[in-house]
């Protein structure tokens, strides 16, 4: 579920809207239900879900999509089903009814299959022939404008998931060795902290803060982290104070997305939870909901109980807009209770 990217695309017809959808989502949908929401004449949100399995009730998924769309302050929507009529028609009808119940105007309901589109609401053969209307997104002005603006539509959702998949081969061998060194280094640091009676891992947190700041600095200068730097960072991110420090410094900047994507792909499998969740947060803040979703899927497949990933996943499923967190981290994150800083009591001079 993805707020629409900028710059705006001019959509004047169903064919234009169909051409725009892949750029709103970040990939070309298949076997999908897509709802494009509008406020006034502006497209403000696009939500996608899988088509229901044959024989299943489309009602619950339809009501969920409608609730997500209504939460965006939308006034109207167009429903698009991608796939054969036997699977699309019932699902599109269910979504349309759910949008009606939510008080939204359904502007159109479309089906897209094999380079043609049909409208469920238009019965005029002159503009909506029974055998469908052919369209070619490659020749669309909307597609051309999106490409010119630097927007990308991947072939499918699998291609998007591949962008956050683990790197293999020599990279994996090198990272495995670097992670062994990083774990040894953390153990030595913890032992030193115990010997010097430093409370709770204060030195570990200091090392983590330094590693996070250095990672951001280097990446924003366009420098890629070395294997030992990535391994050290991922080991330190298992400590919640370090993870939360990184979270507070992460926003929707391109450099933040690039950093956490690189760290996630190179991290050892047991260490992906923190960088994957931080990537999801950065992607969501930038309006790349689909990227956030695939990052969270990878994290939750490995760590189904990881609290930050569960929180972000719930936020995405509810369709919480990124604007609700403008001013982060000062405004705080919904559902997260932060401890108040300890009040310092001034010492009296005697």
% the chain with pLDDT above 70? 86
Q: Is the pLDDT of residue 268 over 90?
A: yes
Q: Is the pLDDT of residue 340 over 70?
A: no
Give the residue, 329 or 124, on which the prediction is more confident: 124
Among residues 86, 81, 84, which one has the least CA distance to residue 121?
A: 81
Mapped to the 3 state alphabet, what secondary structure does the chain carry? Answer: CECCCCCCCCCCCHHHHHHHHHHHHCECCCCEEEEEEEECCEEEEEEEEECCCCCCCCHHHHHHHHHHHHHCCCCEEEEEEECCHHHHHHHHHHHHHHHHHCCCEEEEEEEEECCEEEECCCCCCCCCCCCCEECCHHHCHHHHHHHHCCCCCECCHHHHHHCCCCCCCHHHHHHHHHHHHHHHHHHHHHHHHHHCCCHHHHHHHHHHHHHHHHHHHHHHCCCCCCHHHHHHHHHHCCCHHHHHHHHHHCCCCHHHHHHHHHHHHHCCHHHCHHHHHHHHHHHHHCCCHHHHHHHHHHHHHHCCCCHHHHHHHHHHHCCCCHHHHCCCCCCCCCCCCCCCCCCCCCCCCC
* Cα within 13 Å of Cα(15), Cβ side: 14
The segment(s) of the chain belonging to CATH 1.25.40 are 170-321
Going by pLDDT thresholds of 50, 70 and 90, the confidence category of residue 5 is: very low
The segment(s) of the chain belonging to CATH 3.40.140 are 14-154
Mean pLDDT value across residues 330-340:
58
Q: Which two tokens stand for residue 164?
A: 């956050």
Report the residue count for the chain. 350
Give the residue, 336 or 322, on which the prediction is more confident: 322
Give the CATH class of 170-321. Answer: mainly alpha
* Cβ pair 215, 225 in contact under 8 A: yes
Mean pLDDT value across residues 243-247:
95
Q: Is the pLDDT of residue 93 over 90?
A: yes
What is the pLDDT, as a whole number, of residue 151? 74
Going by pLDDT thresholds of 50, 70 and 90, the confidence category of residue 137 is: confident
Q: Is the pLDDT of residue 257 over 60?
A: yes
Going by pLDDT thresholds of 50, 70 and 90, the confidence category of residue 9 is: low
Give the residue, 41 or 30, on which the prediction is more confident: 30
Question: What is the tens place of the pLDDT at every residue in 182-198?
Answer: 999 999 888 765 555 44
| Architecture of the CATH domain 14-154 | 3-Layer(aba) Sandwich (3.40)
Q: Is the pLDDT of residue 284 over 90?
A: yes
């Amino acid at each position: 579920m993805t707020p629409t990217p900028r710059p705006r695309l001019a959509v004047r017809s169903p064919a234009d809207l169909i051409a725009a959808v892949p750029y709103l989502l970040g990939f070309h949908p298949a076997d999908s239900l897509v709802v494009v929401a509008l406020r006034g004449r502006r497209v403000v949100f696009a939500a996608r879900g899988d088509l229901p399995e044959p024989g299943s009730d489309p009602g619950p998924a339809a009501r969920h999509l409608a609730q997500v769309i209504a939460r965006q302050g939308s006034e109207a929507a167009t429903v698009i089903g991608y796939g054969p009529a036997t699977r699309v028609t019932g699902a599109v009808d269910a979504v349309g009814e759910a949008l009606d119940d939510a008080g939204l105007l359904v502007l159109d309901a479309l089906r897209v299959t094999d380079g043609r589109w049909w409208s469920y609401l238009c019965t005029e053969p002159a503009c909506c022939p029974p055998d469908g209307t052919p369209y070619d997104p490659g020749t669309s002005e909307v597609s051309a404008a999106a490409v010119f603006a630097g927007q990308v539509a991947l072939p499918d959702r699998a291609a998007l998931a591949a962008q956050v998949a683990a790197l293999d081969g020599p990279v994996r061998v090198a990272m495995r060795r670097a992670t062994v060194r990083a774990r040894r280094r953390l153990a030595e640091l913890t032992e030193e902290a115990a010997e010097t009676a430093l409370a709770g891992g204060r030195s570990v947190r200091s090392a983590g803060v330094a590693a996070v700041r250095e990672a951001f600095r280097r990446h924003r200068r366009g420098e890629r982290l070395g294997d030992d730097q990535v391994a050290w960072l991922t080991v330190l991110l298992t400590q919640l104070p370090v993870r939360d420090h990184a979270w507070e410094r992460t926003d929707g900047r391109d450099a933040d997305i690039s950093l956490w994507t690189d760290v996630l792909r190179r991290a050892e499998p047991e260490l992906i939870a923190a960088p994957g969740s931080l990537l999801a947060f950065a992607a969501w803040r930038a309006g790349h909901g689909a990227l956030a979703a695939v990052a969270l899927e990878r994290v939750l497949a490995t760590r189904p109980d990881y609290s930050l990933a569960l929180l972000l996943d719930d936020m995405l499923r509810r369709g919480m807009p990124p604007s609700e967190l403008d001013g982060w981290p000062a405004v705080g994150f919904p559902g997260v209770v932060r401890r108040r800083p300890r009040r310092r009591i001034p010492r009296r001079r005697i």
